Structure 1
Amino acid sequence: MHSVTDYYSATQLRADRWSELREVTAQLAREAPAKIDPTLRSQASELFDGLAEIEAYWAFPGMQVFDHMRRQFEHNSFTELSYSVHRVARALTTGAYRRRHIPLDHDSDDREEHDDEALLSPEVRAMTKPYFEVLIVDEVSDAQEHWLKANVHAMRRAEDPFIYEALVVPSVEDALIAVLFNHNIQAIVVRPGVTLRSKSDHPILARFLEGVAGTDKLNDLQTKDYGPALCRLIDDVRPELDAYLVTERSVEDIAGTELGICRRVFYNQEDFMELHLNILRGVQSRYKTPFFTALVNYSKQPTGVFHAMPISRGKSITRSHWIQDMGAFYGPNIFLAETSATSGGLDSLLEPHGPIKEAQELASRAFGSKQTFFATNGTSTCNKIVVQALVRPGDIVLVDRDCHKSHHYGMVLAGAQVCYLDSYPLNEYSMYGAVPLREMKQQLLDLKAAGKLDRVRMLLLTNCTFDGIVYNVDRVMEECLAIKPDLIFLWDEAWFAFARFNPTYRKRTAMRTANKMRARFKTEEHAEAYAAQQEMLKGADTETILNTRLIAPPTARIRVYATQSTHKTLTSLRQGSMIHVNDQDFKGEVEQAFHEAYMTHTSTSPNYQIIASLDVGRRQVELEGFEFVQRQLEAAMSMRRAISTHPLLKKYFKVLSLAEMIPSEYRESGTESYYDPDRGWIDMLEAWEDDEFVLDATRVTLGVGGTGWDGDTFKTQILMDKYGIQINKTSRNSVLFMTNIGTTRSSVAYLIEVLVEIARGLDDLLDDASKMERLGFERRVANLTEKYPPLPDFSRFHDAFRADNVTSEGDIRTAYYMAYDENNCDYMDLDGSLQHALDAGEEVVSASFIIPYPPGFPILVPGQVISSEILAFMRALDVNEIHGYRADLGLRVFTPEALAAQTPQKRLTAAKKLTSNKTAAE
C-alpha cells in the first residue's frame, strides 16, 4: 500500500484506497471461515481508517453505508462485505452512481452492474440527467441529518433537468475541505447551526486548509458570522459554485455583509421546494449554452439555402458521387449546422446581439473578466487585435523578447517603438525562463530618466511560458504601476486558460489579480501603506528603488488584458480562443478602437462550430473545470514521481525540478522541487504565494541528454515514429510533456512503460557495445549535457532604427517595411560571408524575423544587430523549421547603403513628429 505522501490529491488517494480495499476484502472472503491472516485484517483495518477521513466529504456511498461496511468487517461478515466494497469501488470507477441507485446487498439484483459510463454511446450519455451533489453545512444529530436529506430528496421531480444528492458536514472547515476534495459539489446550503472548526485533525486535511486565504482570521469571527464568512472563503477557492444562506439574523443585520458566492438568503424558514428550485436554477445558469443551443435548433429546422456555402445542410456532399467518404466520416450534424446566415436564431460574431453576445457574457462570468470576446482564428489574431486597439504609432511597448511571434508582428502593424526585455537563460537546457521583475523596473526607470515615460503604453508578457514558468502577476503589475500608474498590461495566457479553475493556479492569472487589485487599491490600508513608502523613498536612488517592493498609488488605473488559446488547454475546436478584458478605461477610451481592431482581424465568415465549442467549453469548466484540472495535476504529479523514483529511468532521464528551471534568487520560499523521494509531495502553496516565479507542474520537462539523443531526434525517431507518442516542444537536450484536462492515468502509465522500454534497450545496447562504441555514446552524452552554447540576449536595434542612444527602444515597423524593397537587402551564408563579416568587426543587421518553430519566438527581428552569440546559437539549432531563414540562400540582411540612407536626422524628425502629433491629440 502506497504511503499518503505518495499522493498529490485526496481524490486520487480515495480511488486507490477503495481499489485496495476491494482486493483485501475479496481475499478475506476467500479465506473465511478458515483462519484469517492477521496481516490481511490489519491491512483492511488501516484502509478503513484512511477512508474514514475522506468519505465524510462525499455523498456516495455515504457515511451511513460506510459505517455499515465497517461493522461487517468487525463482525467478520466478509462475504457480504466483499460484495458491498466491490459494488462501491466499481460504481466509483465507472461513474454508475451518477446515473442510478447502486444496490449493495449481497442478494440484490443489478443487471446494469457492468455499465461503464465511458463505454456508453454519446447519444445515451447525452440523454442521461447530469448528477451533482449539494453540500449542507449544519451541525446536526444523525436523526436530524437523515431528516434534512429526506426533505431535500423528497423535492426531486421527474421533470427536473438534473439529479443531485445531499451531503451534510458540521463546520466551516469541513465545508472548505469538502469543496476542495469533492468535485461533484455544485451548490452549498449554509444553515444556522454551522460551527467553526473540524473535529478531525488529520494532517492531510490541514494541508488542504492552509491554501485557503482568510482561514487565519476565522477565530476573530462571531458565531453569527460563520455563514457569510464561509460564502466568502469558498468564493476564493471555487468561485463558480452557488451558495444559499439560511439565517436567523434580521435583514437589517445581513444587508451590508459581503456574501461572496451567496446567490440567495433564506430567512429562518424550511421552504425546501423553494431551495430546491433555486439550486436547480443556479446550476442551469452555468449549464446553459446559448449559441450551441441555437445552432442545434437551427440544424433541425427545414430550410431552403439560397446563399453562399454549398456545403450548408450537406447538399453538396449528399449529391456527390465522389466525396461520400467525407459525409460518412463526419456524420450529418456538422453539415446541418453549417451556414453563412446570421438569422434563424443565430448571431453575428462581428456585431453580436443574440446568443453569441450571451455566450460571451457567460464566458466573462466564468473567467472573471469585465468583457470577453470570442475568436475563431487563434490567439495569434487575439494578440494583434489587442495590440492594434491599444498601441498608437510611436508608443513605447515593453515586450518579452521570447513571446510568441504574433506579438512581434503586432508591433509592426501598430508602429510601436519596441523595448525588448530579456528573460533569464537556462543555458544547460537551451531554453529561456521569464523576464525578471528587476529588468522591467530598470527599463521603466531608464525611460523615466530620459523623459519618455509618458510615451510608454504597454507591458506585454507571456504567462505561463511554453516551458511552464509562471509570473507573480500581482507583484509585477503593482510594482510597474508604482512607476507608471496608467500602464496597460497584456498577458498572453495562451497556455494558461485552465488556471482559472484551480485555487492555487488562479492566484497568478490576470483577471483574478486585476479584480483583487481593484478592491485592494480602494482600501484605507493600501492608501496608508503607499503614503508611508513614498515618505521612505524620498530622494532614493535607482538601486534602492530596484531593491524595494514597490506599492502602487491608490489612483493607479487597472488596465489588464489576457488572451487565451482555449483550444490548447480546455475543450474547444482548433483555433478557438478568447480575449478577456479588465480595463477601467475600456468604455471611455478603448471600446471603439477595440471594435475597429476586432473588425480588422476577424473574418466575416467565422466558423460557427468553433464558436459553439467555445460556448460548450465554458459550460464544462464552470461545472467540472475544478475536477478536470485537479485530475490533470494528479496525472502530471504521478508522472513526476514515477520517473524520479524509478531506478532504471534515473540512469538516462531527469525530470527538471523547480531548482533547475528557476534560479534560487527568484525562489524566495526556497522550494526546490514538487516531489522528494524521502519526504513525498512538497507543499507548493508557499511558493505560489510569494515566489517571483513558479513552475506549472502540469508541464513535465524531461532531460534526455543522458540517452545520447538530442531532443528533436528523441521526439521524432523514438517517441513518435516508434511509439506513437506526440509532443510539441523540444530543446537541444530535453523534451516537454504537457498534460491537459484529457490526460488519463492510463496515458501516464503508457508513457512510463515506453520510457522503461527505451531505458532497457539502452542498457542492452551498452552491455553489448564495444569499447569504442561506449566511448562514442559517452561523447554524445557529454556533448549534450556539458558542452552547450550559451543563449544569446537581445543585442540591440541598429542606430538606423533608433531615435537616440539613451534608451533601447527601436522602430521595428520601419525596418520591417524597408525590407520589402529587395534593393535594400542581401543574403549572407552563416558559415561563410556572415561569419567573415562579424570577424572583421562589421555591423550586420537582420532584415527579417528569424523564428525557430517550435516554440515560435524570434531570435532575430528586423532591424536587430546580429551578434556573434546569436550566430553561434543559430548554427547550433536543431529544429526542423526556422521561419524567415532560407538554407539555400542564407540569412537576409540589410545592405550597408540601405542602413546609411536611414540617417539620424530622418529618425529624429520622425520621432519629433510622432511626439507633437501625440501631444496635439491629447
Structure 2
Amino acid sequence: MNHQEQKHNTSLGNHRSVWEIRSDGWINLVDDIRYLSSLVLNAHDRASIVKRVQQTIGLLTPIESYWAFPGKRVFADLCQYIEREEFASAYQIARRIHRALTASTYRHDHNVLDSDRELPSQIETDSEQQARLARPYFEVLIVDEMSAGEEEALRRRVQSKRSVDDSFIFDIVVVPSFEDALIATLVNFNLQAVVIRHGFPFRSVNHIELLERFLNGIDTDIEAMPELERGPLLGRQISKIRPELDLYLVTDVGVEDIAACVDGEVFKRIFFGEEDHIELYSAIMRGVGERHRTPFFYALRDYAKQPTGTFHALPLARGKAILNSNWIGDLAQFYGMNLFMAETSATSGGLDSLLDPVGPLKLALEYAARAFGARRTYFATNGTSTCNKIVVQSLVHEGDIVLVDRNCHKSHHYGLVLTGAQVAYLDSYPLNEYSMYGAVPIAHIKETLLNFKRAGTLNRVKLVLLTNCTFDGVVYDVERVMMECLAIKPDLVFLWDEAWFAFAGCHPIYRQRTAMANAARLAERFKDPAYAQSYAEWSATIDWDDTEQLLKTRLMPNPALARVRVYATHSTHKTLTALRQGSMIHIWDQDFKEKSEEAFLEAYMTHTSTSANYQILATLDVGRRQVELEGYELVQRQLELAMSLREQVMNHPLLKNHFQFLRVGDLIPAEYRESGINSYFDEGNGWTNLERAWNTDEFVMDPTRATLMIGHIGMDGDTFKNKELMDKYGIQINKTSRNTVLFITNIGTTRSAIAYLIEVLIKIARNVEMRIADMSSVERKIHEKKVRSLTQEQPPLPDFSAFHRAFRGQSQNPSFETFTRDGNVRRAFFLSYEDESCEYIDMSEAALAIAAGRELVSALFVIPYPQGFPILVPGQVISMEILKFMSALDVREIHGFRPELGFRIFKQSALEEAELALGLNTKQRLLIQNLQAG
C-alpha cells in the first residue's frame, strides 16, 4: 500500500462522526483529483485513484444533500466533471469549495465559486470579518418532496427577497422525507429554522450507517400515519433534538383545525399553503433576530458612545483617570478604550440594575432562561461560589436537614455553615487506584432518606445537593435521582451544582442529563394521566415498610403529591463564553412564588454586589446568544476533539506504553453501568456506545473530560502539571491526583491545540525513555519503587466517619438509634473560633490517642489540594482510616492542617460542654412541644 492509499484509508476508515467524514472526504477528494489532473500516472495507479474518488463521492453525496453549500446542484456539477474526466476543471471547483468550507467564506461571499475570482484566503481580512459579523449567515431546512427544478426555483425566490436592510442572510436546504429532516437537524450546524410543508414520505433514500444511527429509537409505525399528522409529529421530534430551532408549519388543508390542536410551544407560526410566503420569510428573519438580540450588551455598547459627566464614583469610568495620567497609559493600550468607556456604576442612561432589573437586563435574564430551559434565571458577577450560597440560604432554614455530597465544592460547605443546617454528608464511591471519588449512588441516597424516615425526622429533610458533572466527568442520571427521592419525600428540593456542565444544554446527548431539562420533563410526566395509571399499578406492589424492597426497586413518585423544585448553578465562564466569575442560577420550581421568591431575593441581595461588573454581565448576555445560535456546533466539535485526543494516545506506539486515558470502565464500577459498556469507543462501531450508555446507565462519563493516567512514568500529578506541562511547554491544566492529570476540552479548543498537546506528550514520553535508559541500577530501583507506589500502592480513600455526639442530629423515634447521620457544622465551625476550646495534635500523637480510645474531633475543614475535597469537616470524628490516608498523601498543599502543629481539634472539656448543652436544648424543645400539645 502506498502512502497516498494509507492516508486515504486512515482518514476514511474508523470515523467518529459524519462531520469527520465530510471534512476528511473533501481533503481526500481535492488531493486525489489533483493527482489525476497534474501527474502522469500508469494505468494501475490511475484506476486506483479513480476508484478512491468514486468511493469518496459515494460518501459525500448523501451528506452534502443536508447542507446548502455547496448544495446538491453544485456538487452534481462537480461529479459530472469527474465523470467526464475533466480533472483540471474538477480540481479547481473542488479546491474552491474546500477552501470556502474551511475558511467559512461562503457565509459572507456568495461568489466564492466564480471561476474568474481568486481563491478565498483562509485568513480573513478585517473587512471580511466585519462583513461576516455584520450580516451573519444561516440555513433554513425545508421539508418537502419536490423536484430539482422546483427546489432551484424556490431558492431563487428566497434570494430575490433579500434586502440590504436585512440583518442576516440565509440559504435553504430541501429534504424530501421525515427521516431526512431528522438527519439534517442533527448533521447541519448552520440550521436556524425549519419549515415543514404538507405531504412528504417517511423513509430516506440515503443509506449510510453513520446517518442511519441518528434514527435509532424512531417509531417505524410513523410510516402508516396520515400525512396530515406527520408534520406536527416531525415538529415535536425536532424540538426535542434541537429546541433552539424555530419551527414553521405550512399546510394545504385545515390550517385552522391544525392550529387549534397543534402545540403552540412547538411551532412559531402555521401558514396556509403559499398565500403568506412573504410573511414566512419575514417570520424566519424575525425569529432568528429574537435569539440574536442581546439587550444588555446593546445597552452597554450604546452607553459607551454617549457623552457623559461623572460626578459620583469610578475615576476609571470613561477612561479619564487613564487619559489624564502620565504613567498608566499602557493600561489603555493593553485593554483598549471600550473597556473603560463602558465602565460605570450608574443604572440610568439606558442601563439597568442587577438587583432590581426592569429594562435591558431583565430581558437578558428572560432570554437566558429560555436558552437554558429554566423558568427563571439570575446572573451573578462573583462566581458560582456565591450562586451556591444564595440558593442554599434561600431554601434552607436553621435546623433543616440537607443531604450533600461530601466531595462537593467548598462553597457548599461554607454556605451550609452560614445557614445553620443539619448536614448529612453522603459518600461517593471511591476510585482508590486513581485517588479520586466518583459520585453518590442512588441506593445510598435512598438509604439515607429512609433512615431519616425511620428516625421520625424525614419532615426536616429539605434539600439534596449534588455535583453534576463531577470535576472528573462523572454524570448522574438526574431524572432517576429526582424520581426516586421524590417517591420517598415528595416535597424535596434539589440543587444541582452544574458549575462544569453549563454547556450540556446545547447538545441532545448531554441535555438529557441536565437539571433544567429533567425538571421540565418530570413536571409534564406528573400531569400525564397515563403516568398516574402506571403509578397506581406500581404502588399496589410496594410495601413501604420493607426497606430492602425499597432499596432494590426503582421507585415512582406519587404524581398527586410530588412537587418539582429544581435549582442549578452554572459557572458560565468555565465552559461557555463569559468573563471570569460570570455565572448563572437557573430555577425550575413549581412553588417558587409561593415558598421561595422572597427568601431567594433576600439571599440574592445579601451576596450580590451593589456594584456589579457590567462587562461580565454583557458577556453573559452575549454568551447566551452563542448558546442559542451555535452552541450545538461548538459542543459537538468539543466532543469530537476530545475523542480524537483519546484515540491518538490509544493508538500511538510510544504514547500507549506510558500513558492511558481512563475509560468509562475505569471511572464507573460495573454495578452502575447497566449497559455493560466498558469503553465508549469501539474499533468496529466507533463512538456509538456513547449514546447507548447515556440512555441507560446510572452514571456516565463526559468524554470531554479526559483523565490521563501517568503513574507508569514515575511522576505524580502535581509534578507533571507544574514541572512538565506548565514550566516547559506552557500547557495549563487544573485538576490532578497522585497519578492522573485532567485535560478538559471546551468550546474554544482547536485541532491545533490538540495537535500541540499530542506533540508535547510524545516529547515527554521520549524524555522519560531517555532518562530511564540513562539510569544506574540504584536509580532504576528508586524509579521502579516510585512507579509501584503510584500504580499499586494508593492509599484507600476514607468515607465520611461521623459527627461527634455533641454535633450530631437526634432521632424523634424512640425505637430508632439515638443519633442520625446529620450534624451541625455551624455549631462546630464557630466553636473552633474559641482558642480555649481547641488544641493541636500531630499525626503520630493522633494515632496513639485513637488507639488508646480517645475520640478526636476536627475543629476545621481539612482539604488536601489535590484532590480538593474535605477529608474532615468541623465536628467530624478523625478515624484511623483518615489518618492513614493523610499520612500517605504526598501533596504540598493541605488547607486546615499545619505540618508543624498538626490537626486543630476540640479539647475533651469543650466537647463535654457542647454535648451537655445539646442535651439541655433537646429537653427544652421536647418540653415545649409537650406543652403545646396540651
Bin for the TM-score computed over the shorter chain: over 0.9
User: Are 2:1 and 1:24 equivalent residues in the alignment?
Assistant: no
**2:777 aligned residue (766, 771, 777):** 771
Unaligned runs of 5+ in 1: none
**How big is the shift at 1:839?**
2.9
- Counterpart residue type for residue 717 of structure 1: K
User: Are 2:576 and 1:581 equivalent residues in the alignment?
Assistant: no
- Relative distance call for 1:911 and 1:581 in structure 2 (3 A) is farther
Tell me the secondary structure at the aligned position of residue 194 of structure 1. Answer: coil
CA distance in 2, matches of 1:338, 1:486: 44
- Counterpart residue type for residue 809 of structure 1: D
CA distance in 1, matches of 2:618, 2:156: 39
**1:717 aligned residue (723, 728, 741):** 723
- Counterpart residue type for residue 71 of structure 2: G
Tell me the secondary structure at the aligned position of residue 364 of structure 1. Answer: helix
Which moves more between the two structures, 441-450 or 215-224? 215-224
For the 8 Å contact 2:19–2:187, the answer to whether it is kept is: yes
**How big is the shift at 1:529?**
1.4
User: Are 2:921 and 1:909 equivalent residues in the alignment?
Assistant: yes
**How big is the shift at 1:249?**
2.9
Match of 1:760 in 2: 766
Match of 2:563 in 1: 557
For the 8 Å contact 1:803–1:904, the answer to whether it is kept is: no
User: Are 2:495 and 1:497 equivalent residues in the alignment?
Assistant: no
**2:486 aligned residue (465, 468, 481):** 481
**How big is the shift at 1:126?**
6.7
Which moves more between the two structures, 407-416 or 835-844? 835-844
- Relative distance call for 1:290 and 1:62 in structure 2 (3 A) is same
Match of 1:506 in 2: 511
**How big is the shift at 1:100?**
0.7
Match of 1:116 in 2: 123
- Counterpart residue type for residue 72 of structure 2: M
For the 8 Å contact 1:232–1:260, the answer to whether it is kept is: no
Tell me the secondary structure at the aligned position of residue 881 of structure 2. Answer: helix
For the 8 Å contact 1:394–1:915, the answer to whether it is kept is: no
CA distance in 2, matches of 1:498, 1:246: 33
- Counterpart residue type for residue 730 of structure 2: G
Tell me the secondary structure at the aligned position of residue 255 of structure 1. Answer: helix
Unaligned runs of 5+ in 2: 1-7, 811-817
Match of 1:392 in 2: 397
- Relative distance call for 1:539 and 1:162 in structure 2 (3 A) is closer
Tell me the secondary structure at the aligned position of residue 374 of structure 1. Answer: strand
Match of 2:899 in 1: 887
Which moves more between the two structures, 785-794 or 266-275? 266-275
- Counterpart residue type for residue 330 of structure 1: Y
Which moves more between the two structures, 251-260 or 524-533? 251-260
User: Are 2:242 and 1:233 equivalent residues in the alignment?
Assistant: no
Alignment of 1:107-506 (within 5 A): 108-111=115-118, 113-117=120-124, 120=126, 124=130, 127-210=133-216, 215=219, 218-219=222-223, 221-250=225-254, 251-258=256-263, 261-506=266-511
Match of 2:826 in 1: 813
Alignment of 1:44-55 (within 5 A): 44-55=53-64
User: Are 2:868 and 1:864 equivalent residues in the alignment?
Assistant: no
**2:107 aligned residue (93, 98, 101):** 98
Alignment of 1:690-705 (within 5 A): 690-705=696-711
Q: What are the Cα deviations for residues 420-448 of structure 1, in whole angstroms up to 9, with x where unaligned?
A: 10000000000000000000000000000
- Relative distance call for 1:614 and 1:919 in structure 2 (3 A) is farther
For the 8 Å contact 1:72–1:78, the answer to whether it is kept is: yes
CA distance in 2, matches of 1:121, 1:808: 65
Tell me the secondary structure at the aligned position of residue 837 of structure 1. Answer: helix
Tell me the secondary structure at the aligned position of residue 262 of structure 1. Answer: coil
CA distance in 2, matches of 1:806, 1:123: 66
CA distance in 2, matches of 1:772, 1:179: 62
User: Are 2:47 and 1:38 equivalent residues in the alignment?
Assistant: yes
- Relative distance call for 1:113 and 1:4 in structure 2 (3 A) is closer
For the 8 Å contact 1:400–1:460, the answer to whether it is kept is: yes
Alignment of 1:2-17 (within 5 A): 2=10, 6-17=14-25
Tell me the secondary structure at the aligned position of residue 495 of structure 2. Answer: strand
- Relative distance call for 1:409 and 1:920 in structure 2 (3 A) is farther
- Relative distance call for 1:174 and 1:920 in structure 2 (3 A) is farther
For the 8 Å contact 1:152–1:272, the answer to whether it is kept is: no
Tell me the secondary structure at the aligned position of residue 145 of structure 2. Answer: coil
User: Are 2:753 and 1:747 equivalent residues in the alignment?
Assistant: yes
**How big is the shift at 1:745?**
1.0
Tell me the secondary structure at the aligned position of residue 807 of structure 1. Answer: strand
Equivalenced residue count is: 915
Give the TM-score, by structure 2 length.
Answer: 0.95
Q: What are the Cα deviations for residues 88-122 of structure 1, in whole angstroms up to 9, with x where unaligned?
A: 111111111111124435xx2224621534x6489
- Relative distance call for 1:13 and 1:911 in structure 2 (3 A) is farther
- Counterpart residue type for residue 248 of structure 1: D
CA distance in 1, matches of 2:923, 2:826: 13
For the 8 Å contact 2:717–2:741, the answer to whether it is kept is: yes
CA distance in 1, matches of 2:830, 2:52: 73
Tell me the secondary structure at the aligned position of residue 622 of structure 2. Answer: helix
Match of 2:73 in 1: 64
Give the TM-score, by structure 1 length.
Answer: 0.96
**1:515 aligned residue (498, 512, 520):** 520
Tell me the secondary structure at the aligned position of residue 718 of structure 1. Answer: helix
For the 8 Å contact 1:87–1:102, the answer to whether it is kept is: no
- Relative distance call for 1:679 and 1:167 in structure 2 (3 A) is closer
Which moves more between the two structures, 451-460 or 537-546? 537-546
For the 8 Å contact 1:701–1:736, the answer to whether it is kept is: yes
Tell me the secondary structure at the aligned position of residue 268 of structure 2. Answer: strand
For the 8 Å contact 1:429–1:732, the answer to whether it is kept is: yes
Match of 2:861 in 1: 849
**How big is the shift at 1:767?**
3.0
CA distance in 1, matches of 2:419, 2:763: 52
For the 8 Å contact 1:565–1:576, the answer to whether it is kept is: yes
**How big is the shift at 1:803?**
3.7
Match of 2:86 in 1: 77
Tell me the secondary structure at the aligned position of residue 579 of structure 1. Answer: strand
For the 8 Å contact 1:139–1:169, the answer to whether it is kept is: yes
For the 8 Å contact 2:12–2:24, the answer to whether it is kept is: no
Q: What are the Cα deviations for residues 557-581 of structure 1, in whole angstroms up to 9, with x where unaligned?
A: 0000000000000000000000000
Tell me the secondary structure at the aligned position of residue 689 of structure 2. Answer: coil
For the 8 Å contact 1:231–1:262, the answer to whether it is kept is: yes
**How big is the shift at 1:273?**
1.7
Q: What are the Cα deviations for residues 23-79 of structure 1, in whole angstroms up to 9, with x where unaligned?
A: 111111112698562111111111111111211111100111111111111111000
Tell me the secondary structure at the aligned position of residue 903 of structure 1. Answer: helix
- Relative distance call for 1:456 and 1:122 in structure 2 (3 A) is farther
- Counterpart residue type for residue 391 of structure 2: V
**How big is the shift at 1:919?**
13
For the 8 Å contact 2:112–2:119, the answer to whether it is kept is: no
- Counterpart residue type for residue 628 of structure 1: L
**How big is the shift at 1:238?**
0.4
CA distance in 2, matches of 1:41, 1:191: 40
**How big is the shift at 1:857?**
2.6
CA distance in 2, matches of 1:779, 1:416: 46
**How big is the shift at 1:194?**
2.4
CA distance in 2, matches of 1:918, 1:314: 67
**How big is the shift at 1:682?**
3.9
Match of 1:833 in 2: 845
